[in-house]
Structure 1
Amino acid sequence: MRYIILFFILFSSLFPENTVLIASFNTLRLGKNKKDYYQVSKVLSKFDLVGLQEVMNENGLKILKGNLEKITGKKWEYHISEKPAGSGEYKEYFAYIWQKEKVSLKEPAGYYQEEKPSDFEREPYGVWFKAGEFDFVYVLAHSVYGKKERERILEASRYILVYNFFRKMVPLEKDVIIAGDFNLPANNRGFRKLTVHPEQIEYVLNPDEDLTTLGKKSLVNSYDNFFISRKHTKEFTGRYGVYNYIKIIMKR
């Protein structure tokens, strides 16, 4: 059984003036499950832009925004996908929350348009952001968990379609970042089509070292990650890590 509680992926992008910290976080049913929103907001306040998975309604985002503004003394904003993604009774939204002094929303790119209705359990969702002189499309994903690993591997093999879709949607914007909960380590063979892409798409965290999911006693797997193009996203400083309540691990 998985317990995803307040563990973040850290992505840094360097500008002439400053550094912007981008994170991804599976919120474990934000807006529905009972949470200490103040403590969650204290962790979120350490980042400039956070992509959120498992958002159940907008109410949780409103509470986060209010707490973040109290904690930081700065203005924050959020965006939630126009509709929930999923099948059957369980569906969830994708959302983003950011500090307005550091990041601005240019335009929602929307959901990935599937070639087949069964390509993804939850279609990835993207938004076009700007931070300083850096424009980028930030795509969030929450892959199927599935009782059989084969289902997860098949979805992983389709993220190359997601990357190509958002690259073509915003043709002048070559910086496409895909992040989220993939329910597989990034070095799984399912991602091979993505990582052999001519635009040099690589995962950021090391799946053998950077565990991101909280189990009963410790961190237990590396299902969460970022995929970026080393060819185009040259603003990436190479600094990354997993944020833990108790300990912060930073790679330099």
Structure 2
Amino acid sequence: MPYYAGLKQIEDTDVRRRTIDGLKRLRPALAAAIPPRTATDTLLLATWNIREFDSGKYGYRDDEAYYYIAEILSRFDLIAIQEVRSGLYPLQRLQRILGSWWDFLVTDVTLGTSGNAERMAYLYDRRKVSFTGLAAELVLAKEKGAPEEPVQMARSPYIAGFRAGWAYLTLATVHIYYGKSVAVDPRRLAEITAFARTLAKHAGKLSGAPQYAPGIPPEPGNLIVLGDFNIFNRNDVTMEAMTRAGFAVPEALQAVPGSNVDKNKHYDQIAYLSRLAHLTPTGKAGVFDFYEHVYRIEDEAAYARQRAAKPGRGFKDWRTYRMSDHLPMWVEFGIDDGDAYLDGLE
């Protein structure tokens, strides 16, 4: 659980009381919506695009927002985070609230206008998840016979290897180019297609699993892509680009609503390539709508003073710079394959 002692240091009594009340609403709602974490049996994997984290575009996040974000993140074991901005303070702040046993990996800043000066990160609980040592940013290679070098993705995908229980995982998180506000933007489709094809083709080379003998490549299983794909609908050709390359969305996630605030766009996705080894979907997955519990519409008047410091946005939009315009998406996997392994030895 997060460390709450810092609440005592919030000098404004109204803000402190509001934060306490928000946490009291948030905690039981999270407990009802998300399975409890286990020590060895399951892995709760999540992805969350935390808007402009933390650019200060409409005022830097205060303690209240950080406590809410930390409370949500604490319900998972391993989280891919998109839209971390140039400073590392947001991740360091979360780490202090969550506890010293939490750690993070982060990319450098993506340069260029379309990259939006963003980083991508993985946040994980070292009591459950260990980092295997694999961390890399994906660069697209020229296809054999192609007339020219490919256009690189606006934000380089971030690949990292982890172990949880019996399972080794290779995660690749992305924030795909958005472009025009249409279901199929040409560059967006090109990025998703190139990303999926490259990963599928070189899955073994990208694996974070151990090599047990010289010359024997590691298993390519448990390659999972997750993040903000800016997919409008699961029936669009942008999603087809993923499935054609061999990626599959866990069945439980196929039925969840959209991950934007209005829940009508399927921007965020979690999908795995071909097969899983020692990693079994439990059938539990979802998105969590924190706006039902904090920064609610009925709370608008309580934030008038904060909004006045950086005017120019209505409350519904302003609050997305406190929390996000994306909802966290999660899926649960079983990671204890001991019984099946022993049965196979008989």
Aligned residue number for residue 51 of structure 1 = 80
Report the alpha carbon displacement of residue 107 of structure 1 after superposing the two structures with TM. 1.4
Q: Note the 1:91-130 alignment, pairs <5 A.
A: 91-115=117-141, 116=149, 118-130=151-163
Residue 212, structure 1, aligned to residue 263, structure 2: no
Kept in 2: contact 1:15–1:235 (CA 8 A)? no
The change in CA–CA distance for 1:17 and 1:63 in structure 2 (over 3 A counts) is closer
Structure 2 unaligned blocks of 5 or more: 1-32, 142-148, 208-216, 294-327, 333-346
| Residue matched to 1:239 | 284
- SS of the residue aligned with 2:118? strand
The one of 165, 186, 197 aligned to 2:202: 165
Once residues 249 and 22 of structure 1 are traced to their aligned partners in structure 2, the CA distance between those partners, rounded to angstroms, is: 9
Bigger Cα displacement from structure 2, 35-44 vs 242-251? 242-251
- Secondary structure of 1:153 counterpart: helix
1:222 aligns with 2:304: no
Q: 2:165 is matched with which residue: 128, 132, 155?
A: 132
Q: CA RMSD in A?
A: 3.1
Match of 2:83, SS state, is: strand
Q: Which residue of 1 aligns with 2:101?
A: 75
In 1, Cα distance between equivalents of 2:226 and 2:247: 12
Which whole-Å CA distance do the structure 2 matches of 1:235 and 1:16 have between them? 15
Take 1:231 and 1:16, find their aligned partners in 2: how far apart are those partners? Answer: 25
> Is the contact made by 2:225 and 2:270 (CA closer than 8 Å) also made in structure 1?
yes
Aligned residue pairs, count: 232
Is residue 112 of structure 2 the alignment partner of residue 66 of structure 1? no
Q: Aligned pair in 2 of structure 1 residues 249, 162: CA closer, same or farther (>3 Å)?
A: closer
Partner of 1:7: none
The whole-number CA distance in structure 1 between the counterparts of 2:330 and 2:192 is 26
Equivalent position amino acid for 1:188 in 2: D
Provide structure 1 residue ranges, at least 5 long, that are not aligned to the other structure: 1-9
Shift of 1:209: 4.5
Q: Alignment partner of 2:205: what SS?
A: helix
Q: Secondary structure at 1:168's aligned position in 2?
A: coil
* Bigger Rg, structure 1 or 2: 2
Match of 2:41 in 1: 18
TM-score between both structures, scaled by the size of structure 1: 0.80
Deviation of the 1:154 alpha carbon: 1.7
Q: Is the 8 Å Cα contact of residues 112 and 165 (structure 1) preserved in structure 2?
A: no
Is 1:150 paired with 2:186?
A: yes
1:37 counterpart residue number = 66
2:105, 2:72 → 1: CA distance? 19
Q: Which of the pair is proportionally richer in strand?
A: 1
CA distance, structure 2, for counterparts of residue 26 and residue 202 of structure 1? 21
Letter in 2 for 1:239: K
8 Å CA contact retained: 1:80, 1:93? yes
Give the aligned partner of residue 84 of structure 1: 109
Structure number having the greater helix percentage? 2
Matched residue of 1:138: which SS?
A: strand
Shift of 1:243: 1.7
